[in-house]
């Protein structure tokens, strides 16, 4: 039994308390091991060291499968060591065998709270109140505190793109970890980047609106204005502008209006009433 406050041997009788219940407030990494398992003995000190280094951001529970056979059966343990990460009462991640420490850290970091997460929450609250400058300042402090926090990077990238600082936003997205770049949030942010490139260097929205009023068939102005609308969060107006181009100028920029509508659908997560309505209207316009 270790003396660390972040590590404990867990049995059938206290598993629900020390793992399932605790996981609602702190991620719990459960190491299923056995005394005869040599790889288990290699992995144990690595996990214990990480538990101490993370200082309570996750809790390590050790289950001796020779003794706790019911727990091993309950969680389908077929090879050792097997490590499962519990959060909110359920398994959310796992690995088998001895893994390099960076791989284990990456798994933990996906789920463990970070010191900068409090600032990230404050920044999001500021954004909800339209306090953009305050949100940006908070995010910069969070990034200084925790340069590897991908959630902070994505939030800050979104602000940079909204301000028209496309190159800065692109650099921020390029700095994301490999795992973060494959996440759905990153796909949406990359879609926003694509649209920000359209708005970059174009006339101001008011000027584009005047051009369209004077010349309704001005596809370029509609296309650029749709990008500004996206960056302002007015997705419906953006989709309406692009749909008009699809209906009357399908060849514009090699079908760019249709392609940009698909990009906006990605930005919106591919679901929701707005996406459904405009998917249907786009389908009708193409047929």
Q: For residue 1, what pLDDT is reported?
A: 46
Catalytically active residues, by annotation? 37, 40
Specify the CATH superfamily of domain 205-286. Tetratricopeptide repeat domain (1.25.40.10)
Q: Which CATH architecture has domain 117-182?
A: Alpha Horseshoe (1.25)
* Per-residue pLDDT tens digits for 159-180: 998 888 999 999 999 999 887 8
Strand order from edge to edge, sheet including 7-9: 7-9, 59-64, 28-33, 82-87, 90-96
* Per-residue pLDDT tens digits for 245-286: 999 999 999 999 999 999 999 999 899 999 999 999 999 999
Q: For residue 2, what pLDDT is reported?
A: 59
What residues of the chain score a pLDDT lower than 70? 1-2
CA distance 204 to 211: 11
Q: Do 50 and 59 contact (CB within 8 A), yes or no?
A: no
Provide the Cα torsion 156, 159, 164, 166; round to 10°. 30
According to CATH, where is 3.40.30.10 located in the chain? 7-111
According to CATH, where is 1.25.40.10 located in the chain? 117-182, 205-286
Residue count of the chain, please give it: 287
**CATH code, residues 7-111:** 3.40.30.10
Q: For residue 46, what pLDDT is reported?
A: 97
CA distance 43 to 37: 10
In three-state secondary structure terms, 82 is strand
């Amino acid at each position: 039994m270790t003396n660390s406050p972040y590590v404990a041997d867990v049995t059938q009788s206290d598993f629900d308390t020390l793992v399932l219940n605790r996981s609602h407030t702190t991620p719990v990494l459960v190491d299923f091991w056995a005394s005869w398992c040599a790889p288990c003995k290699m992995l144990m000190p690595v996990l214990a060291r990480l538990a101490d280094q993370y200082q309570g951001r996750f809790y390590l529970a050790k289950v001796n499968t020779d003794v706790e056979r019911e727990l091993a059966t309950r969680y389908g343990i077929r090879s050792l060591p097997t490590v499962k990460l519990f959060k909110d009462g359920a398994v959310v991640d796992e690995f088998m065998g001895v893994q390099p420490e960076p791989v284990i850290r990456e798994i933990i970091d996906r789920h463990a709270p970070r010191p900068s997460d409090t600032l990230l929450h404050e920044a999001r609250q500021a954004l909800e109140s339209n306090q953009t400058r305050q949100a940006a300042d908070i995010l910069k402090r969070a990034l200084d505190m925790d340069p590897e926090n991908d959630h902070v990077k994505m939030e800050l990238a979104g602000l940079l793109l909204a301000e028209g600082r496309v190159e800065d936003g692109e650099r921020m997205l390029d700095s994301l970890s490999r795992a973060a770049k494959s996440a759905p949030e990153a796909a949406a942010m990359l879609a926003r980047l694509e649209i920000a490139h359209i708005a970059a260097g174009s006339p101001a929205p008011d000027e584009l609106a005047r051009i369209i009023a004077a010349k309704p068939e001005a596809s370029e102005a509609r296309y650029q204005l749709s990008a500004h609308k996206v960056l302002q969060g007015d997705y419906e107006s953006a989709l309406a502008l692009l749909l008009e181009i699809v209906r009357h100028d399908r060849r514009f920029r090699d079908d760019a209006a249709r392609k940009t509508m698909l990009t906006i659908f990605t930005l919106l997560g591919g679901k929701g009433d707005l996406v459904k309505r405009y998917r249907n209207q786009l389908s009708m316009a193409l047929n």
